[in-house]
Amino acid sequence: MQIKRTILFIVVLVTLCAGFIGINKNQSIPKRVPFIVPKGWPKPVYDFNKNPLTEAGIALGKQLFYDGQLSKDGTISCGSCHQQFGAFNSYDHPLSHGIENALTTRNAPALFNLAWQKEFMWDGGINHLDLQPLAPITAHNEMGEELENLMTKLKKTKQYPKLFKAAFGDETINTQRLGKALSQFLLTMVSSNSKYDRVMRGEDSFLLPEKLGYAIFKTKCAQCHTEPMFTDYSYRNIGIPLEPYLKDLGRMTITNEAADSLKFRVPSLRNVMVSFPYGHDGRFFSLMNVFEHYRNNMQIGPTTDTLLKNKLPLSNYEIGQLRAFFQTLTDSVFLKDPRFAEPSIGIKSNPPLDQHN
Amino acid sequence: MQQKWKMAFLLIALLGLTNIAICQSTVQFKMMFNNQVFHKDSSYQNKAGETIQIHRFMFYTTKWKLITATNDTIPLSKEHFLINIEKEASMILPFIKGANAKKIMFDIGVDSILNTTGIQTGILDPAIGMFWTWRTGYIMAKMHGVSPQAKTAGNRFSYEVGGFQSPYNSVRTIVLELPIPAEKNKSITIKTNLANWFSGKHNIQISTFPNCHNAGKLAMQLADNYASMFSIHSNN
């Protein structure tokens, strides 16, 4: 009798346990993905505790990044203006196109190393990476969509409720989850494998012009384009005159301080050779235009940066060496990384011809 | 006999006191335009004599507290609420009134920490439309309408007040004296005078300022103005 009871007890126990195992199997636990900080780089500013990277989260972010449904008429995705071969800038477009032939007012910046960036947009008006995509999604001259409508559209699809469940545990689709998923994908876009990086890691060495250029860079550029991010993330007026049609005052739009007039975020010089045109409104077609601006065309105004009060003298020789150094900042691994490529297109083996540099 | 009455009275008073401690009370907003009850899309005149019709009026409120006669603070709720003239239910806030209060306190706006920590959910979801996507920050209060004096397309005026950082922090704390003695079981009605947007502290004319869509001086003045629009309904 006792033995029978014991057996029954064990059978019931095992059945129960098996049941629990079954339940656990049905409950998808998103697989964590570690975020690796390149050696010698500062600590990221993004709070990964509030949005840990997972395989499913990154996949959902990538799906959203390349989905035209995020725009009002389905024609524009994030990837339309952020193209991988240009380090996720807009190829050869001073200003990019939005829905219904609209034109934007600023140059689409290259996207990489966003985990280290505290503020976004050329004027720094956005204070969190999760919030950043909401700006182009809702801007009437970019993707022109209303968030509420976008959520309704995504909920109606077959795939998205499943993808959100895989990433966040249930099928809820809201703005917060959209932002977090896009952030997860964007955060994985780390560019740290240029020749410069290999040299710094001791795996490669500079050619003579690159080495000379690096020395010139350190004396003339590095105060603002600080290593290893090649920007100090500050806002500065580099003597760009006010564009009479766009009338963009930059940082002042956000702070309302006259002292911030015509100040824009210092862009990173990583991948600079492939991310033309340059400047907040894309007014410089080539690096040569930029050098010419610094040494000749600057307009010194009351808010021009103190480091540039006498412009930035550059000889032809120096420009030549700087160009050689800037070539070493191109991260071809990043530009061809299949993890970031548009799913339906894949990696373009031949990026478009470099027309200007 | 007299003694008996006194005893009964005391007993009732005691019961009443215990009742206050547990009773469910509410705070209710009553929209006004000066001395008239406000109706959406009716025509009113502001202090500058401009004719206005208002069709959208919303504001966030949070950090509801009571101050007792002994100056103790009793938190009512840390939640954020969005008051919206188009949603009757949003104008009634359910609170448990814990004590015999002398004052009621609340903020108009959204706590700064929620402006700096990414995307929020629920009533603070940016999809609700009380959020600036081009520059981070909640729209603390919003008033849209038309006025022949607005020299804009469709004579529209549009006030969207925001800004959470010094020197343009548009959050305002409101303190209102409650009538003494505060009656039990009675909801508090807060009269909300929309006319104050134009003349509460600063005179703001639609003809000069038909739009406010950024943090800054005008947003601060509008916030000063609407901070003065609340008063306790005398029949409380």
Sign of CA dihedral B212, B218, B224, B228: negative
Average pLDDT of the residues of chain A: 93
Does residue A128 surpass a pLDDT of 80? Answer: yes
- The pLDDT of B34-59, averaged and rounded, is 96
Going by C-beta distance under 8 Å and a sequence separation of 6 or more, which residues neighbour residue B30?
B37, B91, B189, B190, B191, B192, B233
Q: Assess whether pLDDT exceeds 70 at residue B20.
A: no
Residue whose tokens read 């509460």: B200
Interchain CB distance below 8 Å, A131 and B119? yes
Q: Which of A135, A103, A138 is nearest to A119 (CA)?
A: A135
User: Measured between CB atoms, which of B116, B119, B134 is closest to A125?
Assistant: B134
- pLDDT value for B14: 47
Structural domains of chain A, with CATH: 48-190 (1.10.760.10), 195-330 (1.10.760.10)
Q: How confident is the model at residue A349 (pLDDT cuts 50, 70, 90)?
A: low
Pairing status of strand B81-84 against strand B24-33: unpaired
The predicted-structure confidence for A24-54, as pLDDT tens digits, reads as follows 444 568 899 999 999 999 999 999 999 999 9
A259 vs chain B: nearest CA distance in angstroms? 15
Burial class of A7 by CB neighbour count within 10 A (0 to 12, 13 to 18, 19+): exposed
pLDDT tens string A265-282: 999 999 999 999 999 999
Distance of alpha carbon A197 from alpha carbon A39, whole angstroms: 10
- Confidence at residue B158, expressed as pLDDT on a 0 to 100 scale: 98
Q: What is the mean pLDDT of chain B?
A: 89
Question: What percentage of chain B has pLDDT greater than the value 90?
Answer: 77
Whether residue A45 lies within 8 A of chain B, CB to CB, comes out as no
Search chain B and give the residue with CA nearest A251: B135
> Given this model, what pLDDT does residue B234 score?
75
d(CA B94, CA B87): 15
Residue A20 has pLDDT above 70, yes or no: no
Our CA-based measurement puts residue A179 at a distance from the nearest CA of chain B, in whole angstroms, of 7
Model confidence at A340: pLDDT above 70:
yes
Question: Among A26-40, A114-128, A202-216, whose mean pLDDT is lowest?
Answer: A26-40
Chain A interface, mutation test: which of B121, B123, B124, B135, most A Cβ atoms within 10 Å?
B135
Nearest to B73 by CA among B64, B84, B81: B64
Q: Which residues of B touch A148 (CB under 8 A)?
A: 127-129
Q: B118 Cβ partners below 8 Å, 6+ apart?
A: A50, A51, A128, A129, A130, A131, A176, A179, A180
How confident is the model at residue A355, as a pLDDT?
67
B134 touches chain A (CB under 8 A): yes
The confidence score (pLDDT) of residue A94 equals 93
CB nearest B135 (choices: A51, A126, A180): A126
pLDDT band at B22 (very low <50, low <70, confident <90, very high): very low
**Which pLDDT does position B18 carry in this prediction?**
42
Chain B interface, mutation test: which of A176, A178, A183, A260, most B Cβ atoms within 10 Å? A176
Of A160, A154, A159, nearest in space to A74 by CA: A154
Pairs of residues, one from chain A and one from chain B, whose beta carbons lie less than 8 Å apart: 75
Distance CA A273, CA A287 (A): 8
Locate the domains of chain B by residue range. Answer: 25-232
**Which chain A residue lies closest to B128 (C-alpha atoms)?**
A148
pLDDT at B216: 96
User: Do A146 and B127 make contact, defined as CB atoms within 8 angstroms?
Assistant: yes
Decide if B116 and A127 are in contact by the 8 Å CB cutoff.
yes
Q: Identify the residue with better confidence: A44 or A349.
A: A44
Which of A76-80, A110-114, A300-304, B9-13 is the least confident region?
B9-13
Mean pLDDT of A127-139: 98
Question: B118 at the A interface (CB within 8 A)?
Answer: yes
A259 contacts in B (CB within 8 Å)? none
The DSSP bridge partners found for residue B212 are B159
Q: How many CA atoms lie within 13 A of B50 on its CB side?
A: 27
Q: How distant, in Å, are the alpha carbons of A33, A36, A84, A104, A258 from that of A337?
A: 17, 16, 9, 28, 43
Where residue A63 falls among pLDDT bands split at 50, 70, 90? very high
Q: Dig out the tokens for A254 from the structure.
A: 């956000």
A253 and B214 within 8 Å at the Cβ level: the answer is yes
Select the more confidently predicted residue: B94 or A65.
A65
* pLDDT value of residue A261: 97
To the nearest whole Å, the CA of B145 is away from the closest chain A CA by: 21
Q: Could you tell me if B225 and B204 are in contact, meaning their C-beta atoms sit under 8 angstroms apart?
A: yes
| Tally of CB atoms within 10 A around B151 | 12
Chain B nearest CA to A196, separation (Å): 34
Query: Would you say residue A343 has pLDDT above 90?
Result: no
Which of these ranges, A123-132, A259-268, A333-342, B7-16, has the smallest mean pLDDT? Answer: B7-16
Mean pLDDT on B117-145: 97
The nearest CA of chain A is from the CA of B119 a distance in Å of 5
Helices and strands of chain A, counted as H and E runs: 13, 2
Please answer whether residues B229 and B197 qualify as being in contact, where contact means their C-beta atoms are separated by less than 8 angstroms.
Answer: yes
- Residue B162, both tokens: 């925001």
List, in sequence order, every residue forming a beta bridge with B29; answer none if it has no partner.
Answer: B190
B120 touches chain A (CB under 8 A): yes
Q: Residue B37 and residue A6: Cα distance in Å, rounded?
A: 77
Q: How large a percentage of chain B has pLDDT more than 70?
A: 85
Distance from CA of B185 to the nearest CA of A (A): 39
Query: Two tokens at A144?
Result: 């022109």
**B123 vs A: CB within 8 A:** no
**What pairing do the DSSP bridges indicate for beta strands B137-146 and B51-68?**
antiparallel
What confidence score (pLDDT) does residue B2 get?
Answer: 56
Question: Are B127 and A125 within 8 A, CB to CB?
Answer: no
Cα–Cα dist B208/A28, whole Å: 58
- Please count the other Cβ atoms lying within 10 Å of the Cβ belonging to residue B40: 13
CA–CA separation, A339 and A190 (whole Å): 11
Residue A235 pLDDT > 50, yes or no? yes
Residue B1 pLDDT grade (very low, low, confident, very high; cuts 50, 70, 90): very low
Q: Which of A294, A356, A285 is nearest to A319 (CA)?
A: A294
- B133/A174 touch (CB, cutoff 8 Å), yes or no: no
Mean pLDDT score, A151-176:
98
**ipTM higher than threshold 0.95:** no
Rounded alpha-carbon distances, angstroms, from residue A309 to A220, A273, A301, A302: 13, 27, 9, 10
